């Protein structure tokens, strides 16, 4: 592609830019499951910058809820006026005030033009696009991503590096490159209802005693992800998974005992489950356990232990722990 300046540009992928509280500054996430990304300066025909920054430190508001809320996505997505140019053979070029042409990720016919050398037809296998178990990826498959998030394979891309377009339960679409498709688990071929397929697949595995599937069902019921929100069922599955040692479910149990969601508030039980999850490296559990030692809730107050746990949580990338340590340093606290 050639820009108005005469510069040649090759578009290999598209990423959404999130607005921040800082004028002229945006933030690009590394992937949809990460809180780490890059600050970019937007304007003058470019979006430049490679400074790594956590979403919270980059002043991207409501980040933890953003992926579950269309309203928050619309609120924080960086937007500008664009013009749809009609190009012979396909309609996949946009140009806006920032001067960069990109492929239309939402095109009903799939991604074409600068993204790939042609998309696969429904049911057709594309070379090198396989699931973790080696099965070929096909258009229309119902899949589970990151253990719980249901999606459909909306389109297949060939070329370098190749990849797939995923359609999520809320209607948004994301691009996943070929090397990253190993995070997907096939749940049903050519599924007309991928949310139902994912739920039924996880339910069968959970009933058979699989702890990860039990935890995933807990999160689905807790967040209302493709199923009606149900705190009682969420608690049931979290407990079963936690008792088998599944760390994210142990963390969830700690949160529920602390918050009184579906059961009576019990800080001692919250500490028990936070500690179990912390022992398996779950950063938020380590941070919450530090808070209990700081305030003496469910355990004896111990600032030395609190400091040690906050430092461990910070090393695990927990922003709240990093901020606590910075505030403690400003106040001259030591531990």
Pairing outcome for strands 46-54 and 36-43:
antiparallel
The pair phi, psi for residue 294, each rounded to 5°, is -65, -40
DSSP element (H, E) containing 202: helix 194-207
Sign of CA dihedral 57, 61, 64, 70: negative
Q: What is the pLDDT along the chain (335 residues), one digit of tens a residue?
A: 555 566 655 554 566 787 777 777 777 776 555 566 777 777 765 667 667 666 665 566 555 555 545 555 555 666 665 555 555 544 445 555 545 444 444 333 333 333 333 333 434 445 568 887 888 999 999 998 877 788 999 999 877 667 899 998 778 888 888 888 888 889 999 888 998 998 999 999 999 999 999 999 999 899 887 788 999 999 999 999 999 999 999 999 999 999 999 999 999 999 999 999 999 999 999 999 999 999 999 999 999 999 999 999 999 889 999 999 999 999 988 87
Domain total of the chain: 3
- Phi/psi at 223 (nearest 5 deg)? -100, -10
My answer on whether 172 and 130 are in the same domain is yes
- Give the Cα separation of 67 and 110 in Å (integer): 22
Q: Give the CATH number of the domain where residue 130 resides.
A: 2.30.30
The CA radius of gyration of the chain, in Å to the nearest whole number, is 23
Helix (H) or strand (E) holding 39: strand 36-43
Query: What is the 8-class DSSP label of residue 17?
Result: P
Query: Would you say residue 10 lies in a domain?
Result: no
The full DSSP string for 252-312 is HHHHHHHHTSSS---HHHHHHHHHHHHTTT-HHHHHHHHHHHHHTSSS---HHHHHHHHHH
Do the domain assignments include residue 314?
A: yes
| Domain final position from 83, 111, 139 | 111
Residue 131 structural domain: 116-192
The CATH number of residue 314's host domain is 1.25.40.10
- Per-residue pLDDT tens for 27-79? 777 655 556 677 777 776 566 766 766 666 556 655 555 554 555 555 566 66
Q: Does residue 230 lie within any of the structural domains?
A: yes
- What residues contact residue 282 under an 8 Å CB cut-off, 6+ apart? 247, 248, 250, 251
Do 224 and 181 belong together in one domain?
A: no
- Whether the CB-CB separation of 252 and 219 falls below 8 Å is answered with yes
Residue 174 tokens, joined = 């994301």
Residue 1 placed within a domain: no
Q: What is the pLDDT of residue 133?
A: 80
Give the pLDDT confidence score for residue 231 in this predicted structure: 92
Tokens of 187: 């749940």
Does residue 3 lie within any of the structural domains? no
Task: Please check whether residues 291 and 237 belong to one and the same domain.
Answer: yes
Residue 12: inside a domain? no
Last residue of a domain, one of 192, 217, 245: 192
Q: Is residue 197 assigned to a domain?
A: no
């Amino acid at each position: 592609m050639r820009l108005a300046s005469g510069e040649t540009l090759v578009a290999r992928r598209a990423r959404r830019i999130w607005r921040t509280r800082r004028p002229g500054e945006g933030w690009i996430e590394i992937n949809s499951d990460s809180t780490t990304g890059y600050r970019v300066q937007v304007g003058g025909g470019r979006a430049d910058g490679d400074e790594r920054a956590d979403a919270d430190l980059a002043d991207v508001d409501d980040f933890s809820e953003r992926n579950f809320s269309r309203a928050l996505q619309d609120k924080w997505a960086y937007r500008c006026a664009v013009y749809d140019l009609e190009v012979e053979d396909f309609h996949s070029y946009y140009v806006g005030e920032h001067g960069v042409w990109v492929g239309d990720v939402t095109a009903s016919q799939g991604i074409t033009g600068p993204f790939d050398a042609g998309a696969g037809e429904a049911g057709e296998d594309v070379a090198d696009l396989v699931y973790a178990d080696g099965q070929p990826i096909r258009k229309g498959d119902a899949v589970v991503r990151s253990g719980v998030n249901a999606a459909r394979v909306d389109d297949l891309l060939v070329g370098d590096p190749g990849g797939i377009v995923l359609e999520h339960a809320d209607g948004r679409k994301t691009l996943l490159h070929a090397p990253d498709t190993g995070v997907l688990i096939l749940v049903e071929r050519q599924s007309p209802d991928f949310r139902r397929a994912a739920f039924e697949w996880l339910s069968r595995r959970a009933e058979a005693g699989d702890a990860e599937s039990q935890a995933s069902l807990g999160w689905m019921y807790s967040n209302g992800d493709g199923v009606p929100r149900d705190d009682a069922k969420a608690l049931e599955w979290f407990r079963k998974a936690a008792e088998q040692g599944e760390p994210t479910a142990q963390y969830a149990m700690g949160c529920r005992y602390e918050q009184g969601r579906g059961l009576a508030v019990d800080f001692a039980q919250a500490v028990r489950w936070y500690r179990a999850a912390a022992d398996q490296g779950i950063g938020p559990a380590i941070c919450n356990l530090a808070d209990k030692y700081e305030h003496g809730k469910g355990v004896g107050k111990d600032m030395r232990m609190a400091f040690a746990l906050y430092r461990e949580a910070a090393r695990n990338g927990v922003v709240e722990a990093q901020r606590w340590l910075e505030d403690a340093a400003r106040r001259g606290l030591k531990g």
